[in-house]
Amino acid sequence: MLTGEIQIRVRYAETDRMGLLHHANYLVYFEQARTELLRGRHASYKELEDQGYFLVVAKAEVKFKNPAHYDDVLTIRTTVTRTSAVRLEHKYEVFRDGALITEGATTLACVGRDGKLREMPQWLSETK
């Protein structure tokens, strides 16, 4: 399976009044992680979009085990778990100091400029 890791430091602006990473920012981190995973395959979302392929989030799930705090350095491991002609599924694991603190998953659907389902390029649907 295709897997990659990135590191992100929690910025002050991403936290709530308790100094914890706001829950919505995990999805932003997941997007950054899967973008870098794609870039690691020598491609980019921009290139896909320029060709008329748009990957939209159809489903997202986050399971919080422990909070992340301001200035924590997080490692996000992203794995492509399933592909089809029009869908791409990812699993995310967020670690702080080697300990798993959050898990997540997304399902992306490929659509064209008209917003209708469209088959992904073959190289992308074979990313597993």
Which own/partner pairs from 71-75 qualify as long-range (CB within 8 Å, at least 24 positions apart)? 71/9, 71/10, 71/12, 72/9, 72/10, 72/21, 72/96, 73/7, 73/8, 73/9, 73/10, 74/7, 74/8, 74/9, 74/10, 74/29, 74/101, 75/5, 75/6, 75/7
**Chain segment 68-87, per-residue pLDDT in tens:** 999 999 999 999 999 999 99
Assigned architecture for domain 3-125 = Roll (3.10)
Ranges of each domain in the chain:
3-125
Which pLDDT does position 128 carry in this prediction? Answer: 57
What average pLDDT does the chain have?
95
Say if residue 100's pLDDT is above 90.
Answer: yes
Say if residue 122's pLDDT is above 80.
Answer: yes
Rg over alpha carbons for the chain, rounded to the nearest Å, is 15
**Chain segment 26-72, per-residue pLDDT in tens:** 999 999 999 999 998 878 889 999 999 999 999 999 999 999 999 99
Which pLDDT does position 21 carry in this prediction? Answer: 97
Predicted structure pTM score:
0.93
Distance separating alpha carbons of residues 67 and 19, to the nearest angstrom: 10
